[in-house]
Structure 1
Amino acid sequence: MAMPLSIILVLMAYGFFTKNNSRKRLAVGLAFVALYLSSNTCLVIKALNWWEPKVTLMQQMTGTYDVGVLLSGGLIAGSKPYSDLVSLGNNGDRVLQTFRLYKAGKIKKILITGMSLPYQMRLRKGETREAAGLLVQWGVPASDIMFEEKARNTRENAKYSAAILKQKFPSGKYILITSAFHMRRAKGCFQKAGIRADIFPADYHGGYNNINFNNLVIPDANAFADFSVLWHELIGYVVYKFAGYI
């Protein structure tokens, strides 16, 4: 995948090895500009705010959804060795928001979709099961949690979840729960699979920080990490669009 760090390293390597002075200056200059722009907190936040959907306020939600579909992928960081400690992953906010929706009476059932590594699946230790375990510990009845554990990507999340929803809740009302940066691609895939669902974005990377000298001028590693997430998602969205998945 052509990620920002890889692109910058290629430009720097080309600038180092080429003997053409004008190309050397161009490559190094492009690498510098790319690194600065992608690590600029102000610019990255603006880009994320443009891409991520607006926040859905729970108090403004009307009615109840038959199923909340929770997309896995980064929900759980994994059980720590020699302990029963389970840590939420980078996208673990999805689990928390699903719990909030359930406890507020906004969703009746939870469908967690996604495949884990084969050995984890055999041990029933995949992140779908670990996330469900947390929800049960927090008070969600196990009988209200369903699983789809064949999907390897967002398109298959939609495809296999759609089959379950159409069979068990053919005229149901659904809400899609995933990270805000991932919501456009996820919603598009579910629509393509014949499922019209409302959205509840979680795990926002954008924000509304005041502009100051630090976030406007000084490069920031966290901004670069957030931009990498956004860049990866933009590429994924374009690929899915060309492939006809959304």
Structure 2
Amino acid sequence: MYFILSSLLSFVCNPVFYIIVCLVLAWLVKNRIVKKVLYGVNIVLVILFTNQPFSRFVKEQWYKEYDHPLPAGKVYQYGIVLGGYSNWDWERNRVEFSEIADRLLAGIYLYKQGTVKKLVLASDGSIIENPTGQGPKGNPRGMMAFLRAMGMPEHDVILEVKARNTRENVTRTLELLGDSLRTSPSLLITSAVHMRRSLSAFQAEGLHPDYYITDTQVRIDGEGDSWMPSLQTLSEWPELLHEWIGYLVYKVKGW
């Protein structure tokens, strides 16, 4: 059931799905007016979802309230890094990172700066334990060895290895750390577009961590936004649509 729902969500969160549906409907309907409307809608969808400035604006509106510096001098007992940034490559016996690896890098940086005392890695593809054999299988020991090589002391790294999604990241981390997570200052570290939904999941458990966003929209000095249609921009939309739908589901469930 979990796999079926995940697969269905991947379709719903992909703008290409809506573009194809409009094209197919326009091809099937006989009414010329409806056909023209559907083609028009399809053109608008293509223009919007491939437009970089529009995409940037929408994303920034989604996370702008979380985009500010940390309180000066504040130290956190836990820096909680949410997963999704890596998988374990069993063929080559090494970790492979995704485009949101900034989550982990930011956590290590904040630890090195003394901002967080302990780094909590909430279940990620590289560390998840999967006794059932269904879904991704990580290598916690291998990932810990990698972190040691990166200069992270093992006694200051806590691996949460059971969660399969953001909501379970919260409940499993709470099970792992217990009341210490409620009483100690903690910092949530995750991608900018993921922060709103992640905080909602933590707050549903009565937890109110500070937050540090990564993977923000970077404006390169001397380089403006391109108004040309971009397949790269189109490929970035599923992440945001996933967050919108997930956040709505959380609210419906009272999270």
- Band of TM-score, shorter chain: 0.7 to 0.9
Identity of aligned residues (%): 28
Name the CA distance, whole Å, in 2 between partners of 1:128 and 1:230: 29
Name the CA distance, whole Å, in 1 between partners of 2:212 and 2:21: 38
Report the equivalent of 2:165.
Answer: 153
Query: Secondary structure of 1:118's match?
Result: coil
Matching of residue 106 in structure 1 with residue 115 in structure 2: yes
Structure 1 stretches of 4+ moved >4 Å: 119-122, 127-131, 209-212
Query: Secondary structure of 1:52's match?
Result: helix
Q: CA deviation at 1:238?
A: 1.0
Flag the 1:230–1:86 CA change in 2: closer, same or farther, 3 A: same
Map of 1:118-197 to 2, 5 A cutoff? 118=130, 126=138, 131-197=143-209
Map of 1:1-246 to 2, 5 A cutoff? 1=9, 2=12, 3-53=14-64, 54-57=66-69, 61-73=72-84, 75-79=85-89, 81=91, 83-114=92-123, 116=128, 118=130, 126=138, 131-204=143-216, 206-208=217-219, 215-216=226-227, 218-245=228-255
Q: Which deviations, in whole Å up to 9, do the C-alpha atoms of 1:38-92 show, x marking residues without a partner?
A: 110111011111112454446x53221001111112x2143273x3443211321
Flag the 1:190–1:7 CA change in 2: closer, same or farther, 3 A: same
Structure 1 counterpart of 2:118, one-letter code = K
Residue range with higher mean Cα deviation, 88-97 or 35-44: 88-97
Gaps of 5+ in 2: 1-8
Q: CA deviation at 1:197?
A: 0.3
Residue range with higher mean Cα deviation, 93-102 or 219-228: 219-228
Structure 2 counterpart of 1:240, one-letter code = Y
Residue range with higher mean Cα deviation, 167-176 or 11-20: 167-176
Structure 2 counterpart of 1:95, one-letter code = L
Q: CA deviation at 1:200?
A: 0.9
Name the CA distance, whole Å, in 2 between partners of 1:170 and 1:192: 13
- Superposition TM-score, scaled by structure 1 size: 0.86
Name the CA distance, whole Å, in 2 between partners of 1:145 and 1:16: 56
Name the CA distance, whole Å, in 1 between partners of 2:163 and 2:231: 32
Name the CA distance, whole Å, in 1 between partners of 2:169 and 2:58: 26
Name the CA distance, whole Å, in 1 between partners of 2:105 and 2:246: 25
CA contact (8 A) 2:160 2:172 kept: yes
Q: CA deviation at 1:150?
A: 2.2
Q: CA deviation at 1:207?
A: 3.3
Structure 2 counterpart of 1:18, one-letter code = V
How many aligned residue pairs are there? 238
Name the CA distance, whole Å, in 1 between partners of 2:230 and 2:63: 21
Gaps of 5+ in 1: none
